[in-house]
Amino acid sequence: MKEELIISGRMNPGIDPYLTLWHWPIPLYLFLGGLAAGILFFTALYTILGKEKSMPTAVKWSSFLVPGILTIGLLALFYDLKHQMYFWRLYTTIRFESPMSWGAWVLMLITPLSFLWAGSYLREAIPSWKWKFRFIETVESWVIKNRKPMAWAMIMLSVILGIYTGILLSAFNARPLWNTSILGPLFLVSGLSTGAATIMWMSRDHKERRIMSKIDLLLIGIELFLIVHLIMGFLAGPAVQIEAANLFLGGQFTVSFWVFVIILGLLFPALLEILELSGRKVPVAIPAILILFGGFIFRFIMVEAGQITRYLY
Amino acid sequence: MRYGMAIDTKKCVGCSDCVVACQTENDVPLGYCRDWVTETVAGTYPNVELELRTERCNHCDNPPCVRCCPTGASHVIQGGIVLVTHNECIGCGACIQSCPYDARFSHPNGYVDKCTFCAHLVEKGGQPACVAVCPTKCMFFGDLDDPDSDVSAALKNRRYKALAPEAGTKPQIYYLL
């Protein structure tokens, strides 16, 4: 038997009795960042493939959501900072070893890009729309001419953004639940899946919807595969990681993880999509909402549970 | 030069004087602490063993807090002391998440705060407040690279351990067993 306790009374707020420093803004941001990355990935992909005509929701209409999604995500991040008036310090340096520095800079590039992209399709969505200033029209025509190179930049930035939401957590070796390199690819795939679900939900075109549904099914499959590997990796790891995995295998996050993430967030929507693809009538909103909800809960659980896992006491 | 600390677990009585000395010297806000005392009881009665340790930032040789800091506010100064520059810190909490010792906290003013090894005293040739005040003289501070320093002398003929070395941070506080 071994018992360890702090007898001098360390009760630092947010640190003791266990870490509760990061609350809802962080998982919300991780979810929104992944979602934006997912949508932009498909926007860029189908632009590069030249499918503006057959995939209008993926290329044009879904991209109207992205500036809003990123703005809410950035506001959540800003809200979470404890020394807010110094946030600009992020942009006076580039630190290659820090995932958060990568994230700050990628967001700095991808957010304006998403505004430009959505803005360039505004006149297609609202034909009567008129820009107030001449220079905006100049920018607009430049963007329209350069959509292909912009799409190449966007596809790369969206992959970095999607992966970084996972690496942000996996880089913390002090939290055994996060400290696994599979978290980057897992969050990327989950982000792509939520992006595909959003496009599928928005699409009014039967063919486009079927394509996005098939892609989403594939992504759900990969995600389940990665989650199995995540848990296998933990169970084959050191004591602290076995303990971390046990949070999901009988520990306090068992029900929320298996019910909300695995069953309601992945298996059930996958089943609905299979039924729909085989010709049965399923309202598309149901699998889409479940996937989005599951994606958010997954990040929420990972952030909360990760902060409990530790090396000492 | 490499500053480090050796703490004699056989001499520490767990009085928490080091904690109070630190709070006074460094103006640590009420309800917070940069160092603390831990008691470990191992074994089953009647074969039990008690260990008392005063703990703080380990000023690691491979500090994850410095690596993950997005602004460079967390940095290493001469002698391996890890510090936070207040007006560069955005309070994102990445360094707090990265520390296996939970040695950092969010100061009520917003920035992240932690043990400084009393760098302001050490650079003038003094000792950290916790070491200077210890009534049982169980703490030894100094340059690990200098074989004649207090800390090197303390480590010379004793068995010692570091906390959670498996976390890979190369901690620089040693506990004499």
**Chain B interface, mutation test: which of A23, A173, A303, most B Cβ atoms within 10 Å?**
A173
pLDDT at A17 over 90: no
Q: Is residue A8, in this structure, part of any structural domain at all?
A: no
Indicate yes or no: CB of A98 within 8 angstroms of CB of B70. yes
Neighbouring C-alpha atoms within 13 Å toward the C-beta of A27: 21
Q: Is residue A135, in this structure, part of any structural domain at all?
A: yes
Please give the torsion angle defined by the CA atoms of residues A96, A100, A101 and A107, in that order, rounded to the nearest 10 degrees. Answer: 130
Contact present, A179 and A172 (Cβ < 8 Å): yes
Indicate yes or no: CB of A98 within 8 angstroms of CB of B69. yes
User: Among all chains, which residue has been given the structure tokens 């190449």?
Assistant: A152
What is the pairing mode between strands B105-106 and B139-143?
unpaired
pLDDT at A1 over 80: no
User: In chain B, what are the domain boundaries?
Assistant: 3-176
Indicate yes or no: CB of A4 within 8 angstroms of CB of B38. yes
Residues A195 and B74: their CA atoms lie apart, in Å, by 36
Burial code (b: 16+ CB inside 10 Å, e: under 16) for A165-202 equals bbbbbbbbbbbbbbbbebbbbbbbbbbbbbbbbbbbbb
pLDDT digits (tens, 9 = 90+) for A150-164: 999 999 999 999 999
Which pair of structure tokens corresponds to residue B1? 């030069």
What ipTM describes this predicted complex?
A: 0.90
User: What total number of domains does chain A contain?
Assistant: 1
Chain A residues with beta carbon closer than 8 angstroms to that of B87: 86
How close is the nearest chain B Cα to the Cα of A313, in Å?
9
Instruction: Report DSSP letters for chain A, one per residue.
Output: -EEEEESS----TTTSSS-----THHHHHHHHHHHHHHHHHHHHHHHHTT-TTT-HHHHTGGGGHHHHHHHHHHHHHHHH-SSGGGGGGGGG---TT-HHHHHHHHHHHHHHHHHHHHHHTHHHHSTT---SSHHHHHHHHHHHHTHHHHHHHHHHHHHHHHHHHHHHHHT-TTSTTT--TTHHHHHHHHHHHHHHHHHHHH---HHHHHHHHHHHHHHHHHHHHHHHHHHHHHHTS-HHHHHHHHTTTTSTTHHIIIIIIIIIIIIHHHHHHHHHHTT----THHHHHHHHHHHHHHHHHHHHHHHH--S--
pLDDT digits (tens, 9 = 90+) for A169-217: 999 999 999 999 999 999 999 999 999 999 999 999 999 999 999 999 9
Residues A269 and A262: their CA atoms lie apart, in Å, by 10
Is A108's Cβ below 8 Å from some Cβ in B?
A: no
Structural domain of A162? 25-308
pLDDT digits (tens, 9 = 90+) for A87-126: 999 999 999 999 999 999 999 999 999 999 999 999 999 8
3-class SS of residue B176: strand
Contact present, B76 and B123 (Cβ < 8 Å): no
Indicate yes or no: CB of B166 within 8 angstroms of CB of A13. no
pLDDT score, position A204: 92
Instruction: Indicate the range of A105-109, A168-172, A279-283, B133-137 predicted with least confidence.
Output: A279-283
Indicate yes or no: CB of B44 within 8 angstroms of CB of A81. no
Q: Is residue A295, in this structure, part of any structural domain at all?
A: yes
**CATH code of residue A60:** 1.20.1630.10
Q: Which of B33, B39, B88 sits opposite A12 (nearest CB)?
A: B33
Chain B residues with beta carbon closer than 8 angstroms to that of A80: 92-93
- Please name the residues between 2 and 31 in chain A that touch chain B, using a CB distance below 8 Å: 2-16, 19, 21-22
CATH architecture of B3-176: 2-Layer Sandwich (3.30)
How close is the nearest chain A Cα to the Cα of B172, in Å?
16
Chain A residues with beta carbon closer than 8 angstroms to that of B90: 81, 83-84, 86-87, 89-90
Residues A28 and A33: their CA atoms lie apart, in Å, by 8
3-class SS of residue B147: coil
**Chain B residue with minimum CA distance to A303:** B97
User: Among all chains, which residue has been given the structure tokens 């549970």?
Assistant: A305
pLDDT confidence bin for B53, thresholds 50/70/90 = very high
Is A80's Cβ below 8 Å from some Cβ in B?
A: yes
Higher pLDDT, A17 or A46: A46
Q: How far is CA A64 from CA A104, A121, A145, A305, B158, in A?
A: 22, 8, 19, 34, 67
Chain A residues with beta carbon closer than 8 angstroms to that of B91: 81-84, 86
